[in-house]
Amino acid sequence: MDNTLFTVNNVWMMICTALVFLMHLGFSLLEIGLTRQKNTINILFKNVFIISIGMVLYAVVGFNLMYPGTFMYGVLPDYFIDLFGIAPPENGLTAEYANGGYTYWTDFLFQGMFAATAATIVSGAVAERIKLGSFMIFTIIYVGVVYPITGSWKWGLGWLDELGFYDFAGSTLVHSVGGWAALVAVWLLGARIGKFNKDGSVGAIPGHNIPLATAGVFILWLGWFGFNGGSVLSADPGKTSMVLVTTCLAAAAGGLTAFLVSLFKYKQYDLSMFLNGILGGLVGITAGADIMSVTDAVIIGSIAGTLIVLGVAFLDKLKLDDPVGAIAVHLICGIWGTLAVGIFGDLAGWEQLGNQAIGIISIGAFCITSAYLIIKTLKVTVGIRVSELEEQEGLDIHEHGMDAYPDFGLNEH
pLDDT single digits (tens) 183-234: 999 999 999 999 998 887 888 899 999 999 999 999 999 999 999 999 999 9
Q: Is the pLDDT of residue 25 over 80?
A: yes
Query: What whole-number percentage of the chain has pLDDT above 70?
Result: 92
Residue 253 lies in domain: 3-408
pLDDT greater than 80 at residue 80: no
Instruction: Round to whole Å and give the CA distance between 229 and 242.
Output: 9
CATH code where residue 111 lies? 1.10.3430.10
Q: Is 413 inside a domain boundary?
A: no
Angle between helices 147-154 and 177-189 (to 10 degrees): 150
* pLDDT at 413 > cutoff 50: no
Q: For residue 49, tell me if it sits in a domain.
A: yes
Overall average pLDDT of the 273-279 stretch: 98
375 within domain boundaries: yes
**Strand partners of residue 248:** none
SS3 labels along 128-170: CCECHHHHHHHHHHHHHHHHHHHHHHHCCCCHHHHHCCCCCCC
Tell me the CA distances in angstroms from 122 to 136, 177, 178, one per residue in order.
11, 10, 6
As for how many domains the chain has, the answer is: 1
Residue 21 belongs to some domain of the structure: yes
Torsion, Cα 66 231 247 25, to 10 degrees, reads 70
Residue 260, in any domain of the structure: yes
- Alpha-carbon gap, residue 215 to 221, rounded angstroms: 10
C-alpha–C-alpha distance, residues 110 and 258, integer Å: 31
Cα separation, 401 vs 213, in Å, equals 24
Computed over its alpha carbons, how large is the radius of gyration of the chain?
Answer: 21
What would the pLDDT profile of 56-73 be if each residue is shown by its tens digit?
A: 999 988 888 888 776 666
Q: Are 322 and 128 in contact (CB under 8 A)?
A: no
Q: Is residue 272 part of a domain?
A: yes
Mean pLDDT check: name the lowest of 16-25, 77-86, 159-168, 256-265. Answer: 77-86
Global pTM? 0.94
- 3-state secondary structure (DSSP) of residue 303: helix
Which CA distances in Å does 132 have to 28, 180, 378, 391, 410? 16, 20, 12, 12, 23
pLDDT at position 203: 87
> What is the widest separation between alpha-carbon atoms in the chain?
69
Element (H, E) at 72: strand 71-72
More confident residue, 24 or 76: 24
User: What would the mean pLDDT of 372-381 be, rounded to a whole number?
Assistant: 97
Q: Is residue 262 included in any domain, yes or no?
A: yes
